[in-house]
Amino acid sequence: MNSKLSSPPNHSPPKRPALSSDAPAGIAARSRRWLCSRLANTVLIRRTYLVTFDGLLILAAFYGAFALRLHEKETLSATVASVPWLPWLALVSGLPVLLFSGWYRGLTRYAGSHSLYGLIPRGVVMVLVLLMANTLLGGAQPPRSFWMLYLLLFSGGAICSRIVLRDVLVRQLERDSSKRIPADETDATLIYGAGHSGMNLLNAIRSDRRFRIIGFLDDDTQLHGRTLQNLKIHSPTRLHALIKDHGLNKVLLAMPSLSRERKRLLVDQLSHLGLEVLSIPSLAQLANGQRIVSDIQPVLIEDLLGREPSKPLSHLLQESVKGKCVLVTGAGGSIGSELCRQILALGARKLLLLDLNEYVLYSIDKELSSQKSGIEIRPILGDASDANRLTLICREHQVQTIFHAAAYKHVPLVEANLCAGIANNLRATKSVIQAAIEADIERLTLISTDKAVRPTNAMGASKRVCELLIQAAAADLAGRQPVMAMVRFGNVLGSSGSVIPLFHEQISKGGPITVTHQAITRYFMTIPEAVQLVLQATGMARGGELFLLDMGEPVRIAELARQMIELSGLRVRDELNPNGDIAIEYTGLRPGEKLYEELLISARDEATQHPLIRKAKEPNHSSSELRPMVEALEEALDRWDEQATIMALSRLVPEYNKDMKMQLTTAAANVNGLAPDTTHPASPKLPTAP
């Protein structure tokens, strides 16, 4: 064995580099800064500072009140000497009042006038407590005016000191945040609206260094040239100069009560100048507590396309849903889900959600159930075209009202899968009618579309057939239950498959935006407004009516695309502006697509008790006339024979352009990444659209 042991390994820590001569001083300085930071960020320490300051203020106010009241030094000394313990009694009685009344719970940097004025009643209580304590202890009584002077001096001093401290803290926060965000990452910003909301917005975002507020804009000529919190109020006519001089690139709208039409014009003018426009929430959102002033958000195209909501007729809203069991088919869709939300809010007894899509059914059920409304909600995974199951559901739950919103509505998708799309819409409506009659429900309303008017596509034609089926069934019932009606309207903002989500996606990817035709127009309505009108139309139905919703003015889709680009703070790239950001490309009308949509077949519509709901007068068929034509259509669908389907559909809906539809939509399907309907091997080969 080797007696020579190897040296043990060295486990000592590695040597640190030698410190420079000024290192201890640097470490000490960092330690002091760390300690000060910890102390400043400790709630207890911060409150101790404030309590100590207020204690000194109480003593200063006490002696100041004597000095103001007595004026002469000898008299002051003699008076104070007669009550040597009174200032300390003021201190001992005053501080507990401030502590237990919650005066130190607020954040000083956010102290507003409301919290500062709250010091006055606290000061009154302090004076009363001191007066009673002094009386009970038998002390000498100062002059009566002393108490008022003491109250005024303490309250005024405390309020002024808090204002100064608040401003110092806010400035410090602004300096700290400006260090974190480089100057070139902040945006020169104007606040449009020099009123109460504009001032509140300024206070709320002072420490947000994304915005470098350079002033206010206001339409009131009497305010031009004046200042608000040291910021100048400008006229909108100076926008060009402000853009040039200050690099202005953002405008915050601080006018929550602005009408939709005025907002549309204002945003259009600002976005034309290349300015990004943001807005505070609406007055309704602020009033019900959903949002706060500082919740700045981009102005969405949906905010501009809609119109001022009309006042609903409450008795019509509640007629078909309040206290009733309501079934909504297609409950997970855009219209179906909003129907469910409003039906729940109107106090239905039970709400049944029917949808074939598991995910959307789960989503709407989860959303509604989280509201804890106390109303029974039953999600039902199923197919609306299953008449037997629908009848069982209606009988089991004693359904009283059905809203039939389940349908295939995407025009190119139905064109590419013609037989499947028509079969779904037709058979679901037939099943709902059968279930409603067999279960003896009270009301059935079909959600229709403006594409059913003189249809040039299979989806619109199939919805027109659904309308004919409802009209014929209502005529057979001759006033008996169920009361059946239809509601026809155009595009709704934000629905799945509409142009607005598509344009948002294309803009986010840098473009281009694709529009089928320069002159194409569409009607638009917000989903909540459309559903509210559907509920009111259902309430006024007596059987067989086809209601039309007033959609307002049509919108040019090319102009819509331009607005959405400019609302994003970007410029349209075209011949006049080749250096713009996003181009608009025109791809040509797709087969079956109209330049404009119509809501009426004839001009003989009638007014109703609601100004935005009309009643159409249109030709219809009896059940005996419809039956053989519908059977022929279903036979063609069963064979997956597209040519026979188109012929049968044309007999049911003569307005349907048969000749064009014989040119099948293979080309359109290829453009949209869709394949023709080849679900069944018997699907015929059809010519490609030119």
CA atoms within 13 A on the CB side of 625: 14
Please confirm, yes or no, whether 451 is among the known catalytic residues: yes
What's the mean per-residue pLDDT of the chain? 78
Distance between CA atoms of residues 479 and 482, nearest Å: 8
226 shares its domain with 131:
no
137 shares its domain with 250:
no
Predicted pLDDT of residue 70: 64
212 shares its domain with 274:
yes
> What CATH number does residue 285 fall under?
3.40.50.720
Predicted pLDDT of residue 680: 35
Higher pLDDT, 547 or 92: 547
Mean pLDDT of 164-172: 69
143 shares its domain with 257:
no
Asked whether residue 23 is assigned to any structural domain, the reply reads no
Distance between CA atoms of residues 38 and 45, nearest Å: 9
Best CA proximity match to 210, nearest among 247, 172, 174, 168: 174
CA torsion, ordered 602, 608, 611, 617, to nearest 10 deg: -10
Mean pLDDT of 280-295: 56
Q: How confident is the model at residue 683 (pLDDT cuts 50, 70, 90)?
A: very low
Poorest-pLDDT segment among 323-327, 448-452, 463-467 = 448-452
**pLDDT higher than threshold 80 for residue 163:** no
193 shares its domain with 340:
no
- The pLDDT tens digits of the residues spanning 408-435 come to 988 889 999 999 999 999 999 999 999 9
Q: What pTM, to 2 d.p., does this model score?
A: 0.65
Predicted pLDDT of residue 81: 61
Mean pLDDT of 32-38: 54
517 shares its domain with 380:
yes
Number of structural domains (the chain) is 3
Predicted pLDDT of residue 657: 61
Asked whether residue 486 is assigned to any structural domain, the reply reads yes
388 shares its domain with 529:
yes
Strand pairing class (606-607; 555-556)? unpaired
Catalytic residue (choose from 250, 451, 463, 661): 451
- The pLDDT tens digits of the residues spanning 634-679 come to 999 999 999 999 999 999 998 886 444 444 443 333 334 433 333 3
Predicted pLDDT of residue 107: 61
Asked whether residue 576 is assigned to any structural domain, the reply reads yes
Distance between CA atoms of residues 191 and 496, nearest Å: 34
Asked whether residue 167 is assigned to any structural domain, the reply reads yes
**pLDDT higher than threshold 60 for residue 686:** no
Predicted pLDDT of residue 179: 52
**pLDDT higher than threshold 70 for residue 75:** no
**pLDDT higher than threshold 60 for residue 39:** no
Mean pLDDT of 140-151: 77
User: The domain containing residue 91 runs over which residues?
Assistant: 43-177
**pLDDT higher than threshold 70 for residue 214:** yes
162 shares its domain with 245:
no
**pLDDT higher than threshold 60 for residue 570:** yes
Asked whether residue 17 is assigned to any structural domain, the reply reads no
Q: How confident is the model at residue 64 (pLDDT cuts 50, 70, 90)?
A: confident
255 shares its domain with 329:
no
Mean pLDDT of 212-227: 86
Mean pLDDT of 93-111: 70
Predicted pLDDT of residue 204: 73
Q: How confident is the model at residue 342 (pLDDT cuts 50, 70, 90)?
A: very high
Q: How confident is the model at residue 34 (pLDDT cuts 50, 70, 90)?
A: low
**pLDDT higher than threshold 80 for residue 182:** no
348 shares its domain with 266:
no
Asked whether residue 228 is assigned to any structural domain, the reply reads yes
Mean pLDDT of 47-60: 79
Predicted pLDDT of residue 555: 83
Q: Give the helix/strand (H/E) hosting 661.
A: helix 658-662
- To the nearest 10 degrees (0 to 180), the angle between helices 418-438 and 623-638 is 140
- The pLDDT tens digits of the residues spanning 244-277 come to 888 888 888 888 777 777 888 888 888 888 888 8
Asked whether residue 14 is assigned to any structural domain, the reply reads no
Strands (E), 163-270: 187-192, 211-217, 227-228, 231-234, 250-253
Count, residues in the chain: 690
Predicted pLDDT of residue 690: 29
321 shares its domain with 173:
no
Mean pLDDT of 52-64: 80
Kindly list the distances between the CA atom of residue 497 and the CA atoms of 111, 444, 500, 601, in Å, as whole numbers in the listed order.
48, 26, 9, 26
CB 347 within 8 A of CB 317: no
655 shares its domain with 602:
yes
